[in-house]
Amino acid sequence: MTIAVIIPTFRREAQVKRLVTTLFEGGRSPDEVIIVDNDPAASCHASWPSGWPVRIVCAGLGLNLAGARNRGWRLTDADLCVFIDDDNFVAPNTLEVLNKGASGLNVGLVAPIIYETGRPSRVWCGGVRRSMWTTRTHFLHRGSVELPDAKSWSTDDMPDVLAIPRKVLEEVAGFDEVHFPFHYDEADIAERIRRLGLQSIVLRDASVWHSGGPDTDPGIEMFRAFEISGSPRVQFMAYARAYFHRRHATRTQRITALGLFIPVWALMVAVACMRQRKPIGQKRDVILAILVGLIRGYTRKVPGRRL
């Protein structure tokens, strides 16, 4: 299969240049690289050797990550679309392994093992398990330096790096940039892919290294989001959690998640935010953003559902 790599970016030109360079350092190189600049100011002007099939597309969509991903895959005719966030870089054989894995029968999404940049042998994410009852998201094998012997295993979805055959993207109409513009967009598309009867799998021999990522302290993570993009990013994080479970959980799961566990999550996050050494005004703004996001997530209409 031909391969296109889609890289959404927002004011991270140096990291984009590092990622693109690793895509062409031996192994299977991409047939096309599309960098989607989501900065309204069109700040990405990186350049590469003239022979590299790399182009920059100015989308200017801000926090609409799903929209940037859609813009990228719809501009290519490649058979396999590999979506990689700009704060990652890849091993030389990664695209080849992803390509072979995506060629398997009944496979709709493939992903690599993601390691920590500062500790290159330590796993950051080896897959995802998400409870539709409690809304808890667990990164498989996180912190481990050893992996299972199996060549692949199932995953609920994958952050940062995921590969989807073009025919599957067309069948599910891509990422839902209307309801999940930022956060849970990978989870949503993976759910819709599984409803086609297709698998989502992690491939042990594909390796990517990631800079940064979610902190285990929700207060730190919320302030990190607030400091990067202000209240809208925090609102999206709260909204998406509620709306995702309203859209994809069963009725009993929805009642449990929305009636008990999301309110408990919100209370715990608010307490964690109050414990941070930040100005009281910032604490107020972050907690208010969480509340606003949850209200949107609870009240936005889901076709065919009341709760």
Domain boundaries, the chain: 3-210, 218-299
pTM score: 0.94
pLDDT confidence bin for 213, thresholds 50/70/90: low
What is d(CA 274, CA 254) in angstroms, rounded to the nearest whole number? 28
Contact 175, 185 (CB under 8 A): yes
pLDDT at 116: 93
pLDDT confidence bin for 208, thresholds 50/70/90: very high
**What residues pair up with 83 in beta bridges, in sequence order?**
6, 162
pLDDT tens for each residue of 72-99:
999 999 999 999 999 999 999 999 999 9
pLDDT tens for each residue of 3-57:
999 999 999 999 999 999 999 997 899 999 999 999 999 999 988 998 999 999 9
Nearest to 168 by CA among 93, 112, 104, 95: 104
Buried b / exposed e across 48-79, counting CB within 10 Å, b at 16+? eeeebebebbbbbbbbbbbbbbbbbbeebebb
Residues contacting 194, CB < 8 A, separation 6+: 108, 200
Pairing of strands 54-58, 107-116: unpaired
Please give the span between the terminal C-alpha atoms of the chain, in angstroms, as a whole number: 42
Residues 235-247, mean pLDDT to the nearest whole number: 97
Residues 155-176, mean pLDDT to the nearest whole number: 97
pLDDT confidence bin for 217, thresholds 50/70/90: confident
pLDDT at 205: 96
Contact 184, 132 (CB under 8 A): no
* Mean pLDDT rounded to a whole number for the chain: 94
Residue 14: CB atoms within 10 A of its CB come to 9
**What residues pair up with 202 in beta bridges, in sequence order?**
111, 153
User: In the chain, what are the helix, strand and coil shares in percent, each to the nearest 5?
Assistant: 40, 20, 40
pLDDT at 306: 59
Q: Which CATH class is domain 3-210?
A: alpha beta
Buried b / exposed e across 131-163, counting CB within 10 Å, b at 16+? bbbbbebebbbbeeeeeeeeebeebbbbbbbbb
pLDDT at 215: 59
Residues 219-225, mean pLDDT to the nearest whole number: 92
* pLDDT(216) > 80: no
Residues 153-167, mean pLDDT to the nearest whole number: 97
pLDDT at 159: 94
Tokens 């969509």 identify what position? 61
Identity of the amino acid at 199 = Q
pLDDT confidence bin for 305, thresholds 50/70/90: low
DSSP H helical ranges for the chain: 13-23, 65-73, 94-102, 166-172, 185-194, 218-229, 231-248, 251-256, 262-274, 280-299
pLDDT confidence bin for 214, thresholds 50/70/90: low
Which letter does DSSP use for residue 67 in this model? H
pLDDT tens for each residue of 269-281:
999 999 999 999 9
Higher pLDDT, 119 or 91: 91
Q: How far is CA 49 from CA 52, 83, 89, in A?
A: 6, 22, 18
